[in-house]
Amino acid sequence: MAEVPCWSRSSFVRNAFIGPGLRHKYGCRSAGLTVFIPKIWFKDRTALKKIPTLIDVVAVALIAPEGRVLMQRRAAGRQHGGLWEFPGGKVETGETRECALLREIREELALVLDPGHLAPLAEASDPAAGIVISLYTCREWYGTPACLDAEALGWFGPGELDALAMPPLDVPLARAVKQLLEEAN
């Protein structure tokens, strides 16, 4: 087995262990960046292979002073249409997660977030789909949320989160938010 280093622009470094079938044990986490391994790195001169990348997604739980969380319902024509989710989106090549989150929230909700008020809370992933979602919390922002990209917005208390229909990866994130809010009370 050859150990092949992979670098990405999102400052993650992972090692991919490539064996006879060129199956990777670890994927390269990159912000939508596909990493190619030059064939000269392999002693047996195996053909150039593409390592699957993970889609890096960021989301935020905006928590109001009374302990309610802002959720948005996805538009009907999209994947997971009609389901409730935390606002956010994909990290673009060259962006940090925090910068991507600030951009996405400005685009989707017309809010300005201060990076100093963001706190990482939880992460959920689906290796089969190649998606990783990182959830942050934020208790202070500038502006009033506007529904620019979703079907609807709603503020929900910790007890109401369980009743919402959500995409599969948002369910464990909602549990983490609920636990955080219950511990605060």
DSSP string, 42-72: STT-PPPEEEPBPEEEEEEEEB-TTS-EEEE
Give the mean pLDDT of 45-65.
78
User: pLDDT band at 72, cuts 50/70/90?
Assistant: very high
**Containing domain of residue 95, as a range?**
55-184
38 and 104 part of one domain: no
Domain boundary among 10, 29, 51: 51
92 and 159 part of one domain: yes
Q: How far apart are CA 50 and CA 42, in angstroms?
A: 14
| CA-CA-CA-CA dihedral for 86, 89, 90, 95, to nearest 10 | -110
Domain boundary among 51, 67, 86: 51
27 and 89 part of one domain: no
Q: Which residues pair with 90 in a beta bridge?
A: 57
User: pLDDT band at 86, cuts 50/70/90?
Assistant: very high
Closest CA to 106 of 130, 138, 74: 138
Give the mean pLDDT of 69-91.
89
Give the pLDDT confidence of 18-42 residue by residue, as tens digits.
444 443 333 444 444 444 444 444 4
59: tokens are 């989301």
Q: How confident is the model at residue 92, as a pLDDT?
A: 93
Total domains in the chain come to 2
Q: Per-residue pLDDT for 17 more than 70?
A: no
Give the pLDDT confidence of 118-145 residue by residue, as tens digits.
999 999 999 888 899 999 999 999 999 9
